[in-house]
Amino acid sequence: MKRINPQFSVRRLRSLGCGFKFVAYNLLFNTVNYRPWTVICGLCTLLLIGCDDYLEENPDNRVELNTLNKAAQLLTNAYSDGGYNFVEWMGDMVTFTRGTTKLDKHNQAYEWAIIDDFTQDTPTYYWNQTYQAIAHANEVLAIVDQLPGEEDRRRAVKGEALLIRAYGHFMLVNLFAKHYDEATAASDPGVPYVLQPEKNFIAQYERASVQEVYDQVEGDLLAGLELVNDSFYANSGKYHFTRNAALAFASRFYLFKRDYQSCINYSSQMLGANPSVFVKDIAAINDQTINVEDYIRQYTSPSDPSNLLLMRKITSFQVNVGYWPDNAIYSERLFGNNPFNAEDVRVESLFQWGENGLYTAKFELLFERSSLTANTGFNYTIVVPFRGEEVLLNRAESYALLGQLDEAVADLQTLLDKRYDVPVTVDLETIASFMGTNDARVALIVYLFEIERPKEFVHEGLRWFDIKRYSLPVTHTLQDGSTIALAEDDNRKVLQIPQAAQDVGGLSPNPR
Same-domain check for residues 138 and 218:
yes
pLDDT digit string (tens) for 76-89?
889 999 999 999 99
- Evaluate if residue 49 carries a pLDDT over 70: no
Maximal C-alpha separation, the chain: 85
pLDDT of residue 10: 29
- Check: CB of residue 177 under 8 Å from CB of residue 494: yes
Same domain, 115 and 217: yes
Q: What is the model's pLDDT at position 39?
A: 37
Strand partners, 314: 82, 380
Alpha-carbon distance of 184 to 9, in angstroms, equals 38
pLDDT at 384 exceeding the cut of 50? yes
Label residue 172 exposed, middle or buried (CB < 10 Å: 0-12, 13-18, 19+): buried
Using CA atoms in the order 453, 459, 465, 466, what is the torsion angle rounded to 10 degrees?
30
Determine the Cα–Cα distance for residues 185 and 188; give it in Å rounded to an integer: 5
**One domain for residues 17 and 118:** no
Chain centroid offset of residue 383 CA: 9
Cα–Cα distance, 304 to 288 (Å, whole number): 14
Residues 258, 163, single domain; the answer is yes
**pLDDT beyond 70 at 1:** no
Rg (CA), the chain: 24
Per residue in 185-217, pLDDT tens?
Answer: 999 999 999 999 877 656 778 999 999 999 999
Predicted confidence at residue 52, as pLDDT, reads 46
> How many whole angstroms separate alpha carbon 366 and alpha carbon 214?
35
Same-domain check for residues 473 and 364? yes
Are 487 and 385 within one domain? yes
Asked if 21 and 106 sit in the same domain, the reply is: no
Residue 360's pLDDT band, with cuts at 50, 70 and 90, is: confident
CA distances from 459 to 83, 316, 505 (A): 11, 13, 32
- 37's CB contacts (< 8 A; 6+ apart) are none
60 in a structural domain: no
Same domain, yes or no: 189 and 276: yes
Give me the percent of the chain exceeding a pLDDT of 90: 68
pTM of structure: 0.86
Q: Which domain holds residue 45?
A: 10-54
Provide the pLDDT for residue 327: 83
Identify which of 399, 393, 381, 398 has the alpha carbon closest to the alpha carbon of residue 456: 393
Quick: pLDDT tens for 404-461: 999 999 999 999 999 999 999 999 999 999 999 999 999 999 999 999 999 999 999 9
Asked, for residue 257, whether it belongs to a domain, the answer is yes
Residue 43 sits in the same domain as residue 126: no
Separation between Cα atoms, residue 354 and residue 368, nearest integer Å? 26
Residue 110 burial (10 A CB sphere; 0-12, 13-18, 19+): buried
- Please give the Cα distance from 242 to 160 (Å, whole number): 8
Q: Cβ distance 405 to 345 under 8 Å?
A: no
Q: How many domains does the structure of the chain reveal?
A: 2
In a domain, 510, yes or no: no
The whole-number pLDDT of residue 46 equals 39
Dihedral sign of CA atoms 366, 459, 230, 417 in order:
positive
Spell out the residues 6+ positions from residue 164 whose beta carbon is closer than 8 angstroms to its own.
75, 78, 79, 133, 134, 136, 137, 241
185 and 315 belong to one structural domain: yes
Whether residue 128 is found in the same domain as residue 47 = no
User: How many whole angstroms separate alpha carbon 18 and alpha carbon 355?
Assistant: 63
Q: Tell me, what CATH number does 294's domain have?
A: 1.25.40.390
